[in-house]
């Protein structure tokens, strides 16, 4: 566990005039330290770099982007048909979230509901109680393969 003082010593980069630093100076020092250490191949500060410099994704959408994936924009009939045949849980999830019961045989209604579900669920923050379950469903339902 790193203490506040050892953290300050880590990022002040030899500057002894830190006694009067305000929040912005510390923020700038951390940014400079991160920029310097992110490019190094040294394992010496690896754990600290990961802890202080790498911002984890906050939402499912950010996680999608970090994974280099994309949300489906062209819902072709084949993809919709596969989902209709295999993802029975979607109808329950959608009804629970919206209070609307879908007609399984109406593809245009299903497509609109799927787009609505995906648009809504990619905004969910990863610290949400059910984020892992939702992430798994978003991967199956909403991402280009």
Q: For 65-98, what is each residue's pLDDT tens digit?
A: 988 999 998 888 888 888 888 888 998 988 888 8
Kindly state the percentage of the chain with pLDDT values over 70.
83
Instruction: Answer yes or no: do 77 and 122 share one domain.
Output: yes
Instruction: Answer yes or no: do 64 and 45 share one domain.
Output: no
Q: Which residues pair with 125 in a beta bridge?
A: 59
Map tokens 């209070």 to a residue: 99
Q: List C-alpha distances in Å: 23 to 9, 19, 80, 106, 142.
A: 15, 12, 52, 57, 41
pLDDT of 43-54, one tens digit each? 667 777 777 777
Instruction: Answer yes or no: do 10 and 75 share one domain.
Output: no
pLDDT of 9-45, one tens digit each? 666 666 656 666 677 777 787 788 788 777 776 666 7
Domain that holds residue 36: 4-52
Tally of structural domains, the chain: 2
Q: CA–CA separation, 51 vs 2, rounded Å?
A: 11
Q: What is the mean pLDDT of the chain?
A: 82
Instruction: Answer yes or no: do 44 and 65 share one domain.
Output: no
Q: CA–CA separation, 95 vs 34, rounded Å?
A: 46
Instruction: Answer yes or no: do 130 and 64 share one domain.
Output: yes
Q: CA–CA separation, 58 vs 55, rounded Å?
A: 8
Map tokens 């609109």 to a residue: 112
Q: Which of 4-8, 115-119, 125-129 bottoms out in mean pLDDT, i.e. has the lowest?
A: 4-8
């Amino acid at each position: 566990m790193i203490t506040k003082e050892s953290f300050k010593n880590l990022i002040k980069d030899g500057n002894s005039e830190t006694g009067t630093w305000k929040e912005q100076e510390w923020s700038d020092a951390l940014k400079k330290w991160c920029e310097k250490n992110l490019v190094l191949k040294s394992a010496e500060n690896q754990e600290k770099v990961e802890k202080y410099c790498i911002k984890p994704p906050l939402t499912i959408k950010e996680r999608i982007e970090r994974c280099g994936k994309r949300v489906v924009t062209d819902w072709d009939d084949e993809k919709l048909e596969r989902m209709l045949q295999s993802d029975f849980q979607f109808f329950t999830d959608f009804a629970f979230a919206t209070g609307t019961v879908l007609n399984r045989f109406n593809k245009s209604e299903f497509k609109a509901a799927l787009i609505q579900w995906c648009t809504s669920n990619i905004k969910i923050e990863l610290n949400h109680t059910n984020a892992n379950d939702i992430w798994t469903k978003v991967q199956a339902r909403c991402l280009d393969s």
